Structure 1
Amino acid sequence: MSDTPPKPFKPLTPLEDALASLLAQVQPLTATETLPTAQLRGRVLASDLVSPVDVPPEDNSAMDGYALRAADAGAELPVTQRIPAGSAPAPLAAGEAARIFTGAQVPPGADTVVMQEFTELVDGRLRITQPVKAGQHVRRRGEDVRAGTVVLPAGTRLDAVSLGLAATAGAAELMVTRRPRVALFSTGDELVMPGEPLPPGAIYNSNRFTLRALLEGLGCEVIDLGIVPDQLDATRAALREAASQADLILTSGGVSVGEEDHLRPAVQAEGQLDLWAIAIKPGKPFAYGRVGEAHFIGLPGNPMSSVVTFFVLVRPALLKLQGATKLAPRGYQLAAGFDWPRPDKRREFLRVRLDDAGHLALLGNQGSGVLTSAFFADGLLDNPPGQAFSAGDAVRFIPFAELLA
């Protein structure tokens, strides 16, 4: 029997502490590039966008109808001009009306637009058939955006609406943080690529496809280094190659302490490593370190463990690397549609779907290797450590739409 005393148990690291420690190590990239606005979905704005124009640039009509002075609405009015969108109207004199179309500039002198449904023409003169309120159906100059104001602040992650807003302000191109370069590889002699024969004891490498898609969805440039054999020298060589090209190295598998898990000694030999056991389920094994100038993150090999740790740790780190200001996904309080009487001591991320009654239904198999449950789920139920709940209780729901955006 050995006289060496057992190592003391190291408590699991709370997710909040692990995330804070990780984000403290990550600083935004300083390199930027200026590109056409239409190409920038998912990129992060590097400087404030200030509008040089009022939006709309002039008072314009919100309806097809007639422009006039509200004070003249009780009289029959001659229609003296026709104003389609994109034309410059002439001034409107008192006692006159103008035929106007949606989006067209309201003529000087007019203060109101009357919908065509509430008018009639009698012997070529306009009669108003409904009461008129001064200013109705007129979109005022600058009511959306004022010239000189910040339309989009630096750190905005550009989506369809923000790109449209940039275009509204006349921005044909924008300055964004350059794409993070992420080197991706998997470790494991048991891994086989889809399309190849599956020998006894082997599995197809799903993590490579899942993680690559997640990285590309976050605007990263992916350097795919494939599958690295379970050999220390091969792992060290892969890390050196990755560090020479990437801002971040992302791996799956091999971060445990087994005899065939070579990532830990390889990263320690080539750089520095912090190995954390995170108090979450699924996804306990997690590693962070540096290899040269590159960040290193090692995810667990089980597919759902890899996905969950990516969502809660890698995603915010990559967003910060790009200079984004919003790092956390939005969660919602919804009613559970099931009982959870025996919670884990760790923080749990349960795969759930939203049923027709607006309640969260649990997907059957919550195992860390069961990727099908994520396919059928609508998101994750974020349950605090040791928190039991019953059907009808409010719980925190994070939609995949937030995590994949």
Structure 2
Amino acid sequence: MSLFDPISAPGCGCDAAHPRLASVPVALTNALACVPPVTRTEILPLHLAMGRVLSAPVHVQTDLPRFDCAAMDGYAMRFDDASLGTLPLCGVAAAGQAPDTLRPGTVMRIFTGAPLPHGADTVVMQENTETAAKDIVLARKPVKGSHIRRRGEDQRTGGLLIEARHRLDALSIGNCASAGVGRVQVLCRPKVSILVTGDELTAPGTRLTEAAIWDVNGPMIQAALTAAGCDVVDLIRLPDDPDLLCAALFKLARRNDMIVTSGGASVGDRDHLSGALKNLGAQVHVSGIAVKPGKPTTVASISGTPLLALPGNPLAAFTMWQVFGRAMTARLSGARSEQAVCRHIRITQSLRHTPGRCEFRPARIAGYGPDGIEYATCSNATHSARLSQALTADGFVLLPAECDGLSQGDMAEFLPFQ
């Protein structure tokens, strides 16, 4: 692998090894194709718009800066007066005050951001002057027009500031504020429900019976959906009952923009998702992926509502969320493409891999090598039930399906966590 190889998606090269299972790139394409972006809109005050997706572009309300102003503390003057050498000080220009008129042959004290006095065309830095009583001595001749922020040099009234489908962050909100925009039109948050199945599952923090375990995936998926800008409508836990599952999916599809499930997607006797989707007349877009962990991952549509079915094992669920959930919810929210972007790293140790399926293995960035490329370290194997493997990791190292391992110092693709 060359450092200059393009990496545009978490590809894996696993089509040939498992022809009946979709490769990660094919599965991701199919998954995104079934996700219709939300179209509902609302208008919000700017201070409540963090993380929201613009449904309309934002335009500049006024020239930025609104007027010629000082770029630093110093003295406003006429450039033609610089030859006088010594100039009397007359007045002060401060930010927030209307500009006065500068008399010929004088200078005016001016502070950063203050409007340039009428008649002034240059600001001389205070470091390049000396004070003598009420006069200013120029230590050196200034450059005409120096240290002035010109009206409109940043933005012009009516100009496009931010395009639609942009997700607002602190920087973009700051730009909106500087442009005088107090309210923005945004897409409504997608409504998503979570359904986890398993006779053994119970809410974290409750008393466990002998065979019970705490539900890990429900809270984890809820947190991931919230971080992705979705409104979590329901978090439902169901036993392994096909009738209850079918009824719940039917109801959730009618009142949500998307459903995320966990468990029941494999082929065991207690895995009922496939049968429920068939009974509901769902359209299945992805049924199993040539990937480790996360092979049972399924994507379907129930009456047009997309469903992402994650595996029950926590690390597998987390991995497939990072690869599929992030991209699907970004598309659902109406944002511009937010698919995870891989980058190249080197690995610190030799890794063994069984050819057949590509593998996303949790890895931690360990620093930089002498060539300036990041090095990552990871465990010798991936255990789909051990979520703690990812706790100290920064992302995944991708082991291609066809390889039987990587040697120390080899280049690899790295997919950072959200």
TM-score by length of 2: 0.88
- Alignment partner, residue 250 of structure 1: 260
Which deviations, in whole Å up to 9, do the C-alpha atoms of 1:349-398 show, x marking residues without a partner? 22111224442121466311111122211222234333443333333333
Aligned partners of 1:217 and 1:193: how far apart in 2?
21
2:366 pairs, out of 348, 351, 355, with 355
- Alignment partner, residue 50 of structure 1: 59
Segments ≥4 residues shifted beyond 4 Å:
none
Which deviations, in whole Å up to 9, do the C-alpha atoms of 1:249-298 show, x marking residues without a partner? 11001011211111211122123142522122221111122223422221
Within the alignment, does 1:81 sit opposite 2:94 as a pair?
no
- Alignment partner, residue 323 of structure 2: 312
- 8 Å contact 1:334–1:360 — kept in the other structure? yes
Aligned partners of 1:261 and 1:195: how far apart in 2?
26
Indicate the RMSD between aligned Cα atoms, in angstroms: 2.0
Aligned partners of 2:76 and 2:281: how far apart in 1?
72
Identify if the C-alpha distance between structure 1 residues 131 and 202 changes in structure 2 by more than 3 Å, giving closer, same or farther: farther
Which deviations, in whole Å up to 9, do the C-alpha atoms of 1:319-345 show, x marking residues without a partner? 112211132223332332222353643
Within the alignment, does 1:182 sit opposite 2:192 as a pair?
yes
Aligned partners of 2:360 and 2:102: how far apart in 1?
65
| 1:218 Cα offset (Å) | 1.0
1:302 pairs, out of 299, 304, 313, with 313
Paired AA for residue 286 in structure 1: T
- 8 Å contact 1:255–1:300 — kept in the other structure? yes
Q: Give the stretch that moved more between structures: 114-123 or 128-137.
A: 128-137
- 8 Å contact 1:251–1:299 — kept in the other structure? yes
Aligned partners of 1:335 and 1:69: how far apart in 2?
59
Within the alignment, does 1:100 sit opposite 2:110 as a pair?
yes
1:166 pairs, out of 176, 179, 183, with 176
- 8 Å contact 1:271–1:290 — kept in the other structure? no
What are the within-5 Å matches in structure 2 for residues 274-293 of structure 1? 274=284, 275-293=286-304
Aligned partners of 2:147 and 2:314: how far apart in 1?
55
1:19 pairs, out of 25, 28, 41, with 28
- Alignment partner, residue 125 of structure 2: 115
Query: Structure 2 stretches of 5 or more lacking a match?
Result: 1-17, 369-373
TM-score by length of 1: 0.91
Within the alignment, does 1:322 sit opposite 2:316 as a pair?
no
Paired AA for residue 392 in structure 1: G
1:331 pairs, out of 339, 342, 354, with 342
Report 1 or 2 for greater relative contact order, CA contacts < 8 Å, sequence distance ≥ 6.
2
Paired AA for residue 15 in structure 1: V
Identify if the C-alpha distance between structure 1 residues 342 and 195 changes in structure 2 by more than 3 Å, giving closer, same or farther: closer
Which deviations, in whole Å up to 9, do the C-alpha atoms of 1:125-156 show, x marking residues without a partner? 11122452233322222222222221110010
| 1:174 Cα offset (Å) | 0.6
* Percent identical residues: 38
| 1:72 Cα offset (Å) | 3.0
Which deviations, in whole Å up to 9, do the C-alpha atoms of 1:178-216 show, x marking residues without a partner? 110001110000112112222333321110111000000
- Alignment partner, residue 32 of structure 1: 41
The alignment partner of 1:271 has SS state of coil
Aligned partners of 1:313 and 1:150: how far apart in 2?
32
Aligned partners of 2:230 and 2:71: how far apart in 1?
41
- Alignment partner, residue 142 of structure 2: 132
Paired AA for residue 87 in structure 1: Q
2:233 pairs, out of 220, 223, 228, with 223
- Alignment partner, residue 6 of structure 1: none
- 8 Å contact 2:58–2:163 — kept in the other structure? yes
| 1:16 Cα offset (Å) | 1.0
- Alignment partner, residue 8 of structure 2: none
- 8 Å contact 1:334–1:394 — kept in the other structure? yes
2:407 pairs, out of 365, 390, 394, with 390
Identify if the C-alpha distance between structure 1 residues 338 and 135 changes in structure 2 by more than 3 Å, giving closer, same or farther: farther
Aligned partners of 2:401 and 2:217: how far apart in 1?
27
The alignment partner of 2:297 has SS state of strand
Identify if the C-alpha distance between structure 1 residues 245 and 395 changes in structure 2 by more than 3 Å, giving closer, same or farther: same
Query: Structure 1 stretches of 5 or more lacking a match?
Result: 1-8
